[in-house]
Amino acid sequence: MNSKIGKNLLKNMKKDVLIIGGGITGLSLCWELACLGIESILVEKAPYLGGHVSQFACKATQTCQRCGACVLEDYLSKLSNTGLFELHLNSTIGSFSQIGKKFSSVVSHKRSQIINERCDDCNLCSKVCPVEGALVRPSFDSKLYISNEKCLNSIGIHCEACAQICPQGAIEFGEKTKEIQIEASAVAICTGFTPFDATKKARFGYQRIPGVLTTLELDSLLRTGNFEPAAFADGLKSVAFIQCVGSRDPKLGANYCSRICCGVSIRLARLLKNRYPEIRLSIFYMDIQTFEREFDKTLDQAQNEITFIRAIPSEIRASENNRPEVIYNGDDDLKQITPFDLVILSVGIAPRDPDLPKSFPVLWQNRDGFIGADENDVTAGHPGVFVAGAAQGPKSIADCISQSILAASRIKEYLDRAKMGEKL
């Protein structure tokens, strides 16, 4: 797919739909549109496709836990066989205008700075990079990319540490931003979410106490195979999951349920139990929300493997030997201070700024800061502008895909009516 990027640079392109965001929603929408014979342009800010889902591990134990992470690969392989879309990685929407029913936009494209063909994956660059997360590996079998959001050069600070150490000369700087003119009849915003910043819940000690991680970090460690129980001094014996970190918390501006975290935590816990049967697992919750179909069965099975404690801890502090200690009120009304080897904060879904130019039609935000759409729909109040997936509000992978299917049919309907010259 990457080979397609270079072909149409600087060419004025006309396609039916401009899709902003190449996460699971954008990709599935792209595929659904392709199935309907509609051509689209996919613009993704990151140097790789898949968004958050590309960091998720397969959570199968003896059987599939239906977490949905593998769906991404399905879509990528399906899409690589269709010619009905143009892909722009490392790109952002520069300017935007609307003439009649046509949207036109300039997409600015930053060149990916590691040349894939030359890179031999020695990993030296990530060792010298001063910024954490500037060199990303979206999945364990992919090569490294430079994240244009985090690299010092992209924010105007000169740094060539990685280019100097690279033995293959695969890293190149100084490429100018290229701009591509795009025209489309409809726009779909699939910009997704941002995970809740767990440092805002300061009492839980995230980034302060060793051994406190978020579900996303654990997921990513499991995916890349970097999760090493042996790294713990006495081995990994106990793991706690804390629910509702950044969900159902009006104090921190998140007065909504993130809908996915209970499922994520229970699946991760069962995966850990399956791999390391001697681990003691506890889940601290206020109530378990099972939005998914037949999730109650998974929950029943999980209750044999995991201790569910109906209490939200007041604090997580570091013990004398620098392990996280969870302070909570137990089922017997006694105050408990329990040490764990690892505490996983089940972070919620927070709204993300879609980072669109000012000339873009103004989108309304709902109470929680997500992009508002008509209820149970994907229309955003402007003819031709659609919003799907987690940009609208917390959604699971399955919900995002079903919304893409809805969006595809709505877009098809819109384009057909526009072609027939109907008043919209």
Partner 1 sequence: MARINLNKLDPQFKHRVADQPGGEGLKACFLCKACTAACPIQPLDKRYDPRKIIRMVLLGMKDEVLKSDFIWLCSSCYGCQEVCPQNVRFTEVMYAIKNLAAQEACMPPGLTAQRSLLRKHGRLYEVGEFENDKRFKLGLPPIVEHPEDYEKLLPDRPTGV
Say how far apart CA 168 and CA 283 lie, in whole Å: 47
- Confirm if 311 and 297 have CB atoms less than 8 A apart: no
Q: DSSP for 191-242, please give it.
A: --EEE--GGGSGGG-TTTSTTEEEHHHHHHHHHHT---GGGSTT---EEEEE
Q: DSSP for 145-203, please give it.
A: EE-TTT-GGGGT----HHHHH-TT--B---PPPEEEEEEESEEEE---EEE--GGGSGG
Nearer to partner 1, 74 or 315 (CB): 315
Interface with partner 1 (CB under 8 A), residue from 114, 166, 244, 344: 244
User: Considering the complex, what minimum distance in angstroms separates the CB of residue 324 from partner 1?
Assistant: 15
Say how far apart CA 78 and CA 119 lie, in whole Å: 27
Say how far apart CA 151 and CA 162 lie, in whole Å: 11
Q: Is residue 202 a contact point for partner 1 (CB under 8 A)?
A: no
Q: Is residue 358 a contact point for partner 1 (CB under 8 A)?
A: no
Nearer to partner 1, 155 or 337 (CB): 337
Q: Which stretch binds partner 1 (CB under 8 A): 80-88, 296-304, 325-333, 346-354?
A: 325-333
Interface with partner 1 (CB under 8 A), residue from 99, 230, 233, 334: 334
Interface with partner 1 (CB under 8 A), residue from 250, 277, 353, 422: 250
Nearer to partner 1, 56 or 256 (CB): 256
Longest dimension (CA), the chain: 73
Q: Which stretch binds partner 1 (CB under 8 A): 50-58, 62-70, 290-298, 329-337?
A: 329-337
Q: Is residue 405 a contact point for partner 1 (CB under 8 A)?
A: no
DSSP, collapsed to helix, strand or coil, labels residue 86 as strand
Backbone torsions φ then ψ of 380, nearest 5 degrees: -110, 15
User: Considering the complex, what minimum distance in angstroms separates the CB of residue 392 from partner 1?
Assistant: 24
Residues 41-100 that bind partner 1 (CB under 8 A): none
Interface with partner 1 (CB under 8 A), residue from 149, 172, 249, 305: 249
User: Considering the complex, what minimum distance in angstroms separates the CB of residue 338 from partner 1?
Assistant: 11
Residues that bind partner 1 (CB under 8 A): 203, 244, 248-252, 286-287, 310-315, 327-329, 333-335
